[in-house]
Structure 1
Amino acid sequence: MSAIRIGNASGFYGDRLSAVREILTGGPLDVLTGDYLAELTMLILGRDRMKDPKLGYAKTFLRQMEENLGLAVERKVKIVANAGGLNPAGLAGALRELAAKLGLDVTVAHVEGDDLIGRAEELGFGEPLTANAYLGAFGIAECLKAGADVVVTGRVTDASVIVGPAAAHFGWGPTDYDQLAGAVAAGHVIECGAQATGGNYSFFAEHDIRYPGFPIAEIHADGSSVITKHEGTGGAVTVGTVTAQLLYEISGARYPGPDVTARFDTIELSQEDTDRVRISGVRGEAPPPDLKVSLNTLGGFRNEMVFVLTGLDIDAKAELVKQQLTFKKTPAEVRWTLARTDHQDAAVEEEASAFLRCAVKDADPKVVGRAFSNAAVEIALASYPGFHVTAPPGDASPYGLFKPGYVDAKLVEQVAVVDGKRIVIPPSPETRVLAPAEEPDLPEPLTGPTRRAPLGFVAGARSGDKGGDANVGVWVRTDEAWRWLVHALTVAEFKRLLPEAEDLPVHRHVFSTLKAVNFVVEGLLGDGVAAQARFDPQAKAVGEWLRARHMDIPEVLL
């Protein structure tokens, strides 16, 4: 059976609107997919649903379909997206109305069952704003097999929008673990859009990524795939860009999902041709018995002021502000951060300046609202020389808290809804408790003279968030560099390079076939991105910070 060609046109809610048309018109395609749901997005959609129960889905997807649904029908391209968010049935209904308005004969189906908010207390999750289990691919597959042209879902795993069409196309069953695992790997690569084609890539200067195209996975019956993009589009697909994305927001060698646990330590990559990278050898195992659940709550309210400190005596100026800023009522949390971005003898004023941030949180918006920001500004003429702030006084804004939960998969009913018919998708017939993978054999260390230099001279990195944890994947491009990296970049060295992680639990995972190590830093991001606990709350740039740090690197690699 021929390969199925699946292109992904959205990596998050807010991605390039024109990508749907670009990927539909750029070349041949069987299925167009879109990933719209991040942890933060579920909170945003939860707040939308609070205002209007008819909402709760990604509104931009509906706008994209208004412009492109006719084009997809004309080109016989199926559409699968998780844009349904908290209300997949509502989005499906809106799509049917849109199709009727456009005069299009399409079958719209949806997958539901992930939303556990009505059972949250019963399941031990308390009273969250949103509670959604991560469903798998077989609801999507069932919709497609029943003749759906468009399938929208709620919270499925990001890769499931790619795995589902492949499973339907090839007739895979729930125990075809190697095939499913291969599709999960392909899905993980393309679900973040242009991150697979050179976006957010450490070695970006090697390619023209001013306007990268969106990625395509050509998936074969055995689960192997080729990652590519439409000819003539910008960016690049290389072993490096694919490696970077494979390491994105994972943990250990066993990558668990609701349908399969994919062994990422078995992945083999090869550059087949220009902008064509083959993924093969992926092994799969039975999934764990529990489904992960995304839990979002409203944590309270926050505000911040950023004081600009310029020139000499930066530490003394910062201390003066801390002493002078007083509160009528002290917020529940007050966090001061001094970023020493100043340079000595700077020729530009901004380069002579540091930034002192005061972030406050409280359950009462009045405590951290105008009363706080006005108090910060009131000291302007009575404080350090050169006093100014980066923004005028502002009001408090709500913030959210994310945490993962877990529920027995047998307690969650996944349902495919096609033409009014409800098809219940049974959970996986087999499960396997998740356990750490065995440590691989390591190559002989690389020895010889060394020179102090940035890690990024020889290694790439990609980082991101999983709730309150940060993930940092680091890889190299030659066997010789791997002999050095795997022995040199230990947990102790990682903590030395990134002092923010020094007192936190850090776990290292080795991926020999990718010449990579992945670090999971527990608690670096507090209660997750919506809580905005730190600068760079999604840890997007932690990897680049790590690459800028200096190590003793063998001269032969430099």
Structure 2
Amino acid sequence: MTVRIGNCSGFYGDRLSAMREMLEGGELDYLTGDYLAELTMLILGRDRMKDPNRGYAKTFLRQAEDCLGLALDRGVRIVANAGGLNPAGLADALREVNDRLGLQAKIAHVEGDDLIGRAAELGLGSPLTANAYLGAWGIVECLNAGADVVVTGRVTDASVIVGPAAAHFGWQRDDVDQLAGAVVAGHVIECGTQATGGNYAFFTEIDDLDRPGFPIAEIDSDGSSVITKHPGTGGAVTVGTVTAQLLYEITGGRYAGPDVTARIDTAALSQDGPDRVRISGVSGEAPPPQLKVSLNTLAGFRNEAVFVLTGLDIEAKAALVKRQLEGWLPTRPAELDWSLARTDHPDADTEEAASALLRCVVRDPDANAVGRGFSSVAVEMALASYPGFTLTAPPGQGQPYGVFTPGYVYAKEVPHVAVLPDGTRVDIEPATDVRELADVDEPALPEPRAAEPTVRVALGTIAGARSGDKGGNANVGVWVRTDEQWRWLVHALTVDEVKRLLPEAADLTVTRYVLPKLRAVNFVIEGILGQGVASQARFDPQAKGLGEWLRSRHLDIPKALLPEGTPL
């Protein structure tokens, strides 16, 4: 019997109306939500500093106030990680909503992931937040106890989907293939509309992308699934949209979690009808003995000024600004970084098209070093610098920024507690059958194509890409849609070629992973994001556009592989 699990949130700040849309749009058994990105934990940590009773996703509480009665009426159970740093506090707030609305919802929560009080003894330093990625079995315990709503803290993104599936089918810990299949389905739908056409490389092929619907995983007892969406909603579910999401924020063939290591390289995709993609063949292995820990630390303060340089002599104007600002600063910050975006065009027909942007970013442990002194100097230069001096906006006070780093602790060191609707606390034991994580052996590659006529065009003419961030690293997954394109891609898009196409990665460590069943290669670029998204080391701090930059780069592609009608 199939269990139908929908998702209504891919991040803290996603579409507020999505919970109601999913509940009203069609049949569901469960509705899930993922609210906890790496940056979100930092945001919630700062919230908790201001008020120890906060630290959870407040938007989820607003959604529940609007939709809890509707979910009960429709028999849909809700599972979300919106508890953040305070799942018990969110559960209490939900009970207040429940009582105020005169409802009879049974509310449970999962806790134990928060290691902040033991960070030093576990060798994790002195972070602002320290949260282990828990798995699905606490959720299972709560659902088996009859909970209508389960909120958690930091569980893996897929766990909010794996838990309902495992509870529904009665899977056990050694059902690794079934669990792995649910992990893969969960990985596809946990980022919301990225599975239904959002952020999709070939978006122009989707007829209606104005308001894409949120995804649904129809999971079977063997762990296979069909990814779909409610009828009549926008977007599309295709092998391409699902492939793109499978490649998001992974490394290679093994995708490790606290309950199972899913073999991404075994997943087979097939179109199962309009807006229906079947995922089958996923195998699983025992999980690693350690849990990943999300560590966020307040690293200092940052500020920035962006100067608009228009017309002629752009390089000379930039050099003058650099000399003046650095020479006038009363105190040089610990970090001072410049970047010049040559967005200007010669003989431009608009002023904007004639302008380049010079960005100066400063960071320092001392707020004063990047605050009023820096901002004042940037403004004081206005009448004493290059012709046409202007800023995009006056810089303000320095703002605190954080750094994300991953930590690892043995699962036996982390409590995992299911707090049932009646308040009973149940300890969840860690996995006993474990396996150290290792890369898979590189698979056999297809024979390269024979020498043939080529055309120099953008890689994106035939290839899609999806990119994202993991701390200071970025991953870029690249895929093609035919076997012959794959024969070319896997030999052409090497690490050296990616470094040539993306000069920002030229001096960094880049690792390639090959995924033949997806006709894909995935690249992990270490350190390209500096200390992570909150430090904003690049103008694209989460590397969301990195894949599109790669697709826009030109190289020699066999003419026979280009889509019909490609302009040459």
Shorter-chain TM range is over 0.9
For 1:543 and 1:283, the matched residues in 2 are separated by: 28
Amino acid at match of 1:396: G
For residues 330-479 of structure 1, the aligned pairs below 5 Å read 330-418=332-420, 419-447=422-450, 448-479=452-483
Q: Check conservation: 1:174, 1:429, Cα contact below 8 A.
A: no
For 2:274 and 2:181, the matched residues in 1 are separated by: 22
For residues 26-425 of structure 1, the aligned pairs below 5 Å read 26-207=25-206, 208-325=208-325, 326-418=328-420, 419-425=422-428
For residue 371 of structure 1, report the CA deviation from its aligned partner: 1.3
Amino acid at match of 2:96: E
For residue 373 of structure 1, report the CA deviation from its aligned partner: 1.2
Deviations 1:452-504 (A, max 9, x none): 00000000000000111000000000111101000000000000000000001
Q: What SS does structure 2 have at the residue aligned with 1:374?
A: helix
Q: What SS does structure 1 have at the residue aligned with 2:135?
A: coil
For 2:455 and 2:270, the matched residues in 1 are separated by: 31
For 1:113 and 1:552, the matched residues in 2 are separated by: 53
For 2:432 and 2:225, the matched residues in 1 are separated by: 26
CA RMSD of aligned residues (A): 0.6
Deviations 1:56-88 (A, max 9, x none): 000000000000000000000000000000000
Runs of 4+ in 1 over 2 A off after TM superposition: none
Partner of 1:526: 530
For 2:139 and 2:527, the matched residues in 1 are separated by: 34
- Identify which range, 304-313 or 445-454, moves more after superposition: 445-454
For 1:534 and 1:194, the matched residues in 2 are separated by: 25
For 2:53 and 2:555, the matched residues in 1 are separated by: 54
For 1:6 and 1:530, the matched residues in 2 are separated by: 32
Deviations 1:307-333 (A, max 9, x none): 001111111000000011121011010
Q: What SS does structure 2 have at the residue aligned with 1:389?
A: coil
Partner of 1:547: 551
For residue 393 of structure 1, report the CA deviation from its aligned partner: 3.0
For 1:357 and 1:10, the matched residues in 2 are separated by: 33
Q: Check conservation: 2:303, 2:395, Cα contact below 8 A.
A: no
Deviations 1:76-106 (A, max 9, x none): 0000000000000000000011000000001
Unaligned runs of 5+ in 2: 563-568
For 1:23 and 1:144, the matched residues in 2 are separated by: 20
Q: Check conservation: 1:336, 1:359, Cα contact below 8 A.
A: yes
For 1:260 and 1:19, the matched residues in 2 are separated by: 30
For 2:239 and 2:265, the matched residues in 1 are separated by: 16
For 1:126 and 1:438, the matched residues in 2 are separated by: 35
For residue 429 of structure 1, report the CA deviation from its aligned partner: 1.8
For residue 399 of structure 1, report the CA deviation from its aligned partner: 0.3
For residue 21 of structure 1, report the CA deviation from its aligned partner: 0.4
Q: What SS does structure 1 have at the residue aligned with 2:368?
A: coil
Q: Check conservation: 1:339, 1:356, Cα contact below 8 A.
A: yes
For 1:222 and 1:34, the matched residues in 2 are separated by: 23
For residue 446 of structure 1, report the CA deviation from its aligned partner: 2.1
Q: What SS does structure 2 have at the residue aligned with 1:56?
A: coil
For residue 424 of structure 1, report the CA deviation from its aligned partner: 0.7
For 1:441 and 1:272, the matched residues in 2 are separated by: 28
Deviations 1:231-264 (A, max 9, x none): 0000000000000000000011100000000000
Q: Check conservation: 1:262, 1:283, Cα contact below 8 A.
A: yes
For 1:327 and 1:534, the matched residues in 2 are separated by: 23
For residue 299 of structure 1, report the CA deviation from its aligned partner: 0.6
For 1:84 and 1:364, the matched residues in 2 are separated by: 32
For residue 529 of structure 1, report the CA deviation from its aligned partner: 0.5
For 2:248 and 2:132, the matched residues in 1 are separated by: 21
For 1:393 and 1:472, the matched residues in 2 are separated by: 33
Deviations 1:16-55 (A, max 9, x none): 0000000000000000000000000000000000000000
For 1:344 and 1:172, the matched residues in 2 are separated by: 64
For 2:223 and 2:18, the matched residues in 1 are separated by: 26
How many residues were matched structurally? 557
Structure 1 residues 393 and 466: CA distance shift in structure 2, 3 A: closer
- Identify which range, 368-377 or 483-492, moves more after superposition: 368-377
Amino acid at match of 1:90: G
TM-score, reference length from structure 2: 0.98
For residue 363 of structure 1, report the CA deviation from its aligned partner: 1.2
For 1:435 and 1:105, the matched residues in 2 are separated by: 47
Amino acid at match of 1:541: G
Q: What SS does structure 2 have at the residue aligned with 1:360?
A: strand
For 2:423 and 2:395, the matched residues in 1 are separated by: 52
Deviations 1:375-399 (A, max 9, x none): 0111111111111010023111110
Amino acid at match of 1:269: L
Amino acid at match of 2:448: P
For residue 364 of structure 1, report the CA deviation from its aligned partner: 1.3
Q: Check conservation: 2:304, 2:395, Cα contact below 8 A.
A: no
Q: Check conservation: 2:269, 2:277, Cα contact below 8 A.
A: yes
Unaligned runs of 5+ in 1: none
Q: Check conservation: 2:495, 2:512, Cα contact below 8 A.
A: yes
Partner of 2:565: none
- Work out the percentage of aligned pairs sharing the same amino acid: 75
Amino acid at match of 2:339: T
Amino acid at match of 2:344: D
Q: Check conservation: 1:183, 1:224, Cα contact below 8 A.
A: yes
Q: Check conservation: 2:402, 2:535, Cα contact below 8 A.
A: yes
For 1:374 and 1:69, the matched residues in 2 are separated by: 51
For 1:67 and 1:496, the matched residues in 2 are separated by: 51
Q: Check conservation: 2:304, 2:361, Cα contact below 8 A.
A: yes
For 2:396 and 2:86, the matched residues in 1 are separated by: 33
For 2:432 and 2:144, the matched residues in 1 are separated by: 21
